[in-house]
Structure formats: C-alpha cells, structure tokens
Amino acid sequence: ELTMAGAEGPGQNDDIYLSNHSYGYDIIDSSDYYLFGLYTDDARDMDQTLHAMEYCLPFIAAGNQRTSSLSGYDTITMFSVAKNTITVGGVNDAVSSGIRSLSRAGLYSSSSFGPADDGRIKPDIVANGVQLYSSGSAGRTYYYYSSGTSMASPNACGSAALLVEFYRNQTSGGAMRASTLKGLIIHTADDLGQPGPDYQYGWGLMNTKAAASMIRDVTEAHPERMIDTETT
C-alpha cells in the first residue's frame, strides 16, 4: 500500500507525503530480547520501499517496551529502527496554563529507549503521548483517552502535516523531500535530557512553531538556511 501511495515527487496531490504507524512487536519473552535494536528484515524493507519515494516520510511509534530491560535502553524494535523514518517517543504534555513549559515534558513511563544496535540515535524525537483523546475500536463514534508512543507518533505526524501544508502554501505548491522535512523537524526540536541528541529523547521535543518559522524564513528571506542536496 505504501509503495502504491507514497509520494515520489512534489505536486503529487493524490499521493501521501506522510503516514503514521502506531504498531510494532510486543516482546514479552526474554528469548526474543535480541530483536531490540536489531536492523531486521522489516526495517530493511521499509528503507528500501522509501528509497524510491523521496517525498514520503513515515512516523513510527518507538514502542512501550522500556520495562523489558533493567536499564531501559536498547528496547526499540521492528521498523522503528529504520533509517528513512521518524521514530517518536512519548512524553507528558509540555504545557502549563496554556504556555509551553519544557520542564513538564517528562518521559512517558514505558517509552522505549535506543540506541539501534549499530549505535544510531533512536528515537529521533519525542512528542506528547500522555492522555490524548483518540478514536477507539469499540464503535464508529467511540473516543477515549489513551497514553503511549502510539499516541505520540500520530500527534507528531499531524503536526508535520501542518508543516507540509504551510510549505506548499509558501511555495505555490512545492514540497519538501522526506529527508528535508525530517532534518527540519529534528533541528528545530527543543533539546531535552542530556545536551544534544541522546537515546531517551532523540533530538528533543518536536516544536512545530519553530519549524514553521524556519520555513517562513527560508521561503521569504534566507533560502540558504535550507540546503537540499544528495551529495556533500
């Protein structure tokens, strides 16, 4: 389905630029712990699929497996380890009285930590995943409050959809490559935890306003701030 629907270039309004994937392995048997952080066939297939669609960026839930490890680290599985995606961990809502408050963005208790087995940073970012109002499977009109990285990932993906739309409006129908959008989100995130990227928060808490401000600056004044290239 992703192969048929993913955007391969700009201006393809019938194709998708984003997708959300709130599912993964639920590892409860210690004999399967070797799968944590492993670049599996699932991750490889996801990367190969996306290699042909330079404008499609999937958002993947990091998983809620942190309690499966004594340290909490190396608890990410399946295509959450893939390279051409954004893997999203979960934190509390960073809002206090309607104002952004990073001190409130504590990690969700089960949000999985990286790294990938090859040392890559995972998750890539974190987003609010605690007590979000979401659709449920009990009926067509059923909604409920839920927590976990399966809530954080669509939260971040929905924010990215606003950035895709804003860029299109700013450029009269243009689109960012998936790698450009990922770089934009990562480098405008609010750093949390250890200084710089780490295996708990990735590059930090997604900051959609900061990313939109960067798009505005690039499209209206300083195009050199966003370099889109294949080889450096």
pLDDT in tens, the chain (232 residues): 888 899 998 877 779 999 999 988 888 888 999 999 999 999 999 999 999 899 999 999 999 999 887 789 999 999 999 999 999 999 999 999 999 999 999 999 999 999 999 999 999 999 999 999 999 999 999 999 999 999 999 999 999 999 999 999 999 999 999 999 999 999 999 999 999 999 999 999 999 999 999 999 999 999 999 887 766 6
Stretch (H or E) spanning 45: helix 41-51
Q: What region, left, alpha or beta, does residue 196 occupy, with left being phi > 0 and alpha being psi -120 to 50 degrees?
A: left
What is the pTM for the complete model shown? Answer: 0.95
Phi first, then psi: give them for residue 28, nearest 5 degrees: -120, -10
Burial classification of residue 229, based on how many CB atoms lie within 10 Å of its CB (0-12 exposed, 13-18 middle, 19 or more buried): exposed
